A = this chain, B = another copy of it.
């Protein structure tokens, strides 16, 4: 405990030491807010603070929670009269890096996931996704909405219901990754279900928007969107698996170095992310699919990292068990080379995403007590909806799957924002949705960590 106290003290000291440099940044942001140097400074501050917040691990919490909480703190310092970080709010480059961050995260998670195992849990994931969409939707539209927030038009309840369906996979995936549990069946089901949820969410959003704007929706329209979305996913995985080896072979003829390997892998991920967005899905779905498709075997024509190459040379001259161990080591790392190459990029952009996610949380909304009470009840419905979905996950820890599906994150906010722009969601309902998203985002990491640790100790 004393040790933890010391870590906390160092953290606080770091923050205090950062203050002058931060105020410097804030000051100079006025005369020339587009200065490149200033963006560099912001990036450095975000990264250092995010990393410093990883002291939360000492208290058994995943680093991602620290990053989100520090973001919440920075984003709400203006409530205390400190406006240092406000220039970050509209900074296009930081926002881009943040988006880039979640795309890279899902790409990494795709790379670490296994297409074969994904297929194995595919049916369960589909079931979890469908239940996890239907239950919250029905709860929101027909039960919680009319009951707790009476007097709104039906379309408003429709949007509330739609908002409750979304699953934001980034947070859950980071918790699994932080705890080294990405390869478990639970994690694979949640990842699969979240991707399918994104497709289902897209359909629901299109349908709800059509009902609000046109008063009705044609079955042909629904079928078309559904078909397009599923065809994209299936097509990307099918075609991708076919052309990836060919691409690897072709580009290896130009250059076989590490740079080419990195470029090829990253570009593949970015192009599939773009195509996903083009079709109307979230870019992260494309990035995840791209990661799933790519395999170390597609890069067999490329050089290994210099260390692995040198290791193999030494191993060739060694003998007995040492030779075997060295060969195994080289093999293991050559299989993970792509992941190791993408990792530093993740160190740069992923924390920016989580800090900025926390940053966008406005604690003001918590100050209106009646709204807060309703929001708590809506949040309970949001939690229940996904936990029910977890119950159909088959022979795994159903609680882990259910809780893993809880975070609504930016997807829910996008739904609410569209509803607001259509004039259906009023300010009060919007605040309620925002609080629900906040709670689902902040509570999932500690609860999930607890559940996973409890299972491990069995």
Contact = CB atoms under 8 A, between A and B. Distances in A.
Contacts of A310: 329
B96 A39 contact: yes
A301 interface: no
Interface stretch (A5-13, A156-164, A168-176, A432-440): A5-13
A117 interface: no
A260 interface: yes
Contacts of A36: 96, 99-100, 277, 283
Contact of A54 (B35, B255, B317): B255
Contact of A274 (B44, B57, B278): B44
Contacts of A430: none
B92 A40 contact: no
A16 B259 CA distance: 22
B37 A278 contact: yes
Contacts of A93: 92-93, 96
Contact of A51 (B28, B100, B259, B314): B259
A292 interface: no
A224 B348 CA distance: 37
Output the residue of A21, A264, A322 with the most chain B CB within 10 A.
A322
A376 interface: no
A311 to B, nearest CB: 7
B55 A263 contact: no
Nearest to A346: B259
Contacts of A283: 36-37, 40
Interface in A428-451: none
Instruction: Bin chain A's interface residue count.
Output: 35 or more
A23 interface: no
Given A255-B57, A333-B307, A44 B325 contact: no
A35 B280 CA distance: 12
B253 A6 contact: yes
Output the residue of A50, A96, A260, A274 with the most chain B CB within 10 A.
A274
A342 interface: yes
A308 interface: yes
A82 interface: no
A168 to B, nearest CB: 16
A117 B74 CA distance: 43
Contacts of A99: 36
Contact of A276 (B14, B37, B319, B348): B37
Contact of A341 (B51, B271, B305, B344): B344
Give the top 4 A-B pairs by smallest Cβ distance, nearest first: A37-B277, A44-B267, A40-B270, A41-B274
21 contacts: A11-B254, A14-B251, A36-B99, A37-B274, A37-B276, A40-B274, A43-B267, A44-B274, A45-B267, A47-B263, A47-B267, A51-B263, A55-B255, A263-B347, A266-B347, A307-B311, A307-B333, A311-B311, A314-B329, A319-B322, A344-B345
